[in-house]
Amino acid sequence: MTDKPGKKKQKPPAPVTSRQTSGVPARVAAHELIARVLFDQISLDEALLACEPMLRPLETRDRAFARAIAATSLRRLGQIEALLAGFLEKPLPERAKRAGIILIAAAAELLFLGVKPHAAVNAAVGAAALDHKTRPLKNLVNAIARRIDREGKEIVEAQDAEKLNTPAWAWESWQRAYGEETARAIASAHLKEPPLDFSVKEDAKGWAARLEGTVLPTGSVRLAKTASVEKLPGFQEGGWWVQDAAAALPAKMLGDVKGKDVLDLCAAPGGKTAQLAAAGARVTALDKSSSRLARIRENLKRLSLEAELISADALRWKPERSFPLILLDAPCSATGTARRHPDVLHLKSAGDIAKLADLQFRLLSKALGFLAPGGTLIYCTCSLEEAEGPAQIEKLLRNRKDIARLPLTAAEIGEDADALAPLITAEGDLRTLPAQFESLGGLDGFYAARLKKLA
């Protein structure tokens, strides 16, 4: 149902008019978001930007609802497609692929979002009636949606949710790396909406109290429920920034950075730049995307923090000096962020991992050229794939006798060493998994290694 034709430019979606039936505009926006991800192969974040003309006229709650439908549809896509395959006598024709999107979204509403059946079914039929390609299929949409309501819950309860919602290449990769039990736990964690984490400039306990959150063993502040970030206490005054608890750990591996020069390579979206600047470092943040650097600049201004921002390709950049401390957050598959970005697993393939691993090794080798003798470099990725993590370090150490691994201890990344010990590998690297801290809401998947250039 979600065959991916070649990318083609689409016109910005038009706003949905008020003459449509209740609840339809939010659904039509959700359908557009899902289609952009599955057919145009762009991220959900990019789809949200592309669909801004359609989303802007909606009320805040309807915009949030449209995103929830899209995210849930992508998170549970394997289960939903297996269900629909059993209900449809034959696959929908290419010209009717939008009807398939409508049914995917309706299933997400009925089976996983707890929407009242009459509302979900009527809105699905109403959405089908709006498009001349799906209008002839509105009776089919109605019949299938009603069948989903009648029979769907029993079917999905019997499904292997973890395996169905994970692409085969990723499932096999995680099994090889972590074993069947942990691979299943990772896939299970991806099916849950993640909590919201903040890094704070100071006084984590105080901010946790103000935000009605908790302080994690890592030192991050976590909110149990989602919220409009801009309306929370401390946003305007710059007391904190959004950053997953796992993403905040690699910068800590540099130790005390106060008054020291730190190069932050591939710096966007900027959470680590802010973290280092807040710790008193003199930060040089480099990224090849000038638009993403502009967002870092805006965030630093809100936080009253400073950093030197450079727009350049790290593979071609030629600095005038070396740096004693470097943080390289290399571009990666981002499979460790799938619980926050459920589109990730639908946009990547095993072939992408190999290409990214090649880029990562070239960036790592280049970054070591920027490192002063005796200096420390942190290599990290938000990936669960061994090829993008430990395999890179092992390859490097086989080929570079002037580089040594500096093992990490749990006490270096938080006060509760016992709670943090499972995040440290036998080699002394950092490895977080979505299934860890399960009772607290989980973590993004991250890998980081600390390296020293021998004098």
**Residue 431 contacts residue 246 (beta carbons within 8 Å):** no
Across the range 258-277, mean pLDDT stands at 97
CB 446 within 8 A of CB 246: yes
So what's the pLDDT on residue 199?
Answer: 98
Token pair 């034709």 in the structure block, residue: 5
pLDDT of residue 94: 84
pLDDT of residue 17: 38
**196-453 classified as CATH 3.40.50.150:** yes
Q: Note the pLDDT of residue 455.
A: 82
- Where does the pLDDT of residue 18 fall: very low under 50, low under 70, confident under 90, or very high at 90 and above? very low
DSSP for 71-90? HHHHHTHHHHHHHHHHH-SS
**8 Å CB contact between 288 and 314:** yes
| Residue 287 annotated as lining a ligand binding site | yes
The confidence score (pLDDT) of residue 8 equals 44
User: Tens of pLDDT along 305-320?
Assistant: 999 999 999 999 999 9
Q: Tokens at residue 121, please?
A: 């079914």
Judged by phi (left if over 0) then psi (alpha if -120 to 50, else beta), residue 23 lies in left
In this prediction, residues 364-388 reach a mean pLDDT of 98
Computed from CA positions of residues 221, 226, 232, 238, in that sequence, does the dihedral angle turn out positive or negative? positive
Question: Could you read off the pLDDT of 310-350 as tens digits, one per residue?
Answer: 999 999 999 999 999 999 999 999 999 999 999 999 999 99
Residue 330, marked binder? no
Query: Over the Cα atoms of the chain, what is R_g?
Result: 23
179 a known binding residue? Answer: no
Average pLDDT score over the chain: 94
Single-letter residue type at 230: E
Residue 244: per-residue pLDDT: 96
Band (pLDDT 50/70/90 cuts) for residue 104 is very high
The per-residue pLDDT for 195 is: 93
Burial class (CB in 10 A: 0-12, 13-18, 19+), 399: exposed
pLDDT reading at 3 higher than 60: no
Burial of 41 (0-12, 13-18, 19+ CB in 10 A): middle
User: Is the pLDDT reported for residue 353 higher than 60?
Assistant: yes
Report angle CA 200, 201, 204 to the nearest 5 degrees. 45
Asked if residue 269 belongs to a known ligand binding site, the reply is yes
Q: Taking CA 454 as the corner, what is the angle to CA 361 and CA 371, rounded to the nearest 5 degrees?
A: 55
Is 286 a residue whose pLDDT tops 60? yes
CA angle 335-347-313, nearest 5°? 75
Write out pLDDT tens, residues 63-79.
Answer: 999 999 999 999 999 99
Any known ligand binding at 268? yes
Residue 285: per-residue pLDDT: 98
Task: Give the pLDDT mean for 382-402.
Answer: 98
Tell me: is residue 260 an annotated ligand-binding position. Answer: no
> Tokens in use for 213?
């959150």
Look up 382 and say whether it is catalytic: yes
The identity of residue 133, as a single letter, is: K
Copy the structure tokens of residue 166.
């994970």
Q: In the structure encoding, which two tokens stand for residue 429, read together? A: 């690297």
Vertex 59 angle, CA 54 and 60, to 5°: 100
Q: How far is CA 259 from the centre of its chain?
A: 32
Architecture of the domain made up of 24-159: Orthogonal Bundle (1.10)
Kindly state the tokens that stand for 269.
Answer: 């979206």
Amino acid, single-letter form, for residue 260: K
Q: What is the pLDDT of residues 191-215, one digit of tens each?
A: 999 999 999 999 999 999 999 999 9
Is position 231 annotated in a ligand binding site? Answer: no
Whether 358 has a binding-site annotation, put simply, is: no
- The neighbour count for residue 334, using CB atoms within 10 Å, is 23
Q: With 60 as the cut, is the pLDDT of residue 7 above it?
A: no
Q: How far is CA 400 from CA 315, 375, 397, 453, in A?
A: 19, 15, 5, 10
Buried b (16+ CB within 10 A) or exposed e, 14-24: eebeeebeebb
Checking if the pLDDT of 406 tops 80, the result is yes
226 touches 193 (CB < 8 A): yes
Arithmetic mean of pLDDT, 44-70 = 96
- pLDDT for 307 equals 98
- Give the DSSP per-residue string, 324-393: EEEEEE-----GGGTTT-TTHHHH--HHHHHHHHHHHHHHHHHHHHHEEEEEEEEEEES---GGGTHHHH
Q: What angle do CA 280, 282, 286 make, to 5 degrees?
A: 125
Q: Write down the domain spans for the chain.
A: 24-159, 196-453
- Characterize 85-95 residue by residue with b for buried, 16 or more Cβ atoms within 10 angstroms of its Cβ, and e for exposed: eebeeeebeee
Is there a binding annotation on residue 152?
A: no
Sorting pLDDT into bands at 50, 70 and 90, what band is 12? Answer: very low
pLDDT confidence of residue 375: 98
Cβ atoms of residues 223 and 185 within 8 Å = no
Task: Decide: 263 and 286 in contact? Cβ < 8 Å.
Answer: yes
CA distance 383 to 41: 19
| Set 51, 332, 380, 382: catalytic member | 382
The C-alpha atoms of residue 1 and residue 3 are separated, in whole angstroms, by: 6
- In which band, very low, low, confident or very high, does the pLDDT at 22 lie, cut at 50, 70 and 90? low
Residue 120 assigned ligand-binding role? no
Q: pLDDT of 132-159, one tens digit each?
A: 999 999 999 999 999 999 999 999 999 9
Q: How confident is the model at residue 15 (pLDDT cuts 50, 70, 90)?
A: very low
Comparing C-alpha atoms, which of 418, 343, 326 is closest to residue 377?
326
pLDDT average, residue stretch 227-234:
90
Is residue 151 a contact partner of residue 399, using CB atoms and an 8 Å limit? no
Q: Is 54 exposed, middle or buried (0-12, 13-18, 19+ CB in 10 A)?
A: buried
Query: For a pLDDT cut of 70, what percent of the chain falls above it?
Result: 95
Whether the predicted pLDDT of 278 surpasses 50: yes
Instruction: Give the pLDDT mean for 73-89.
Output: 97
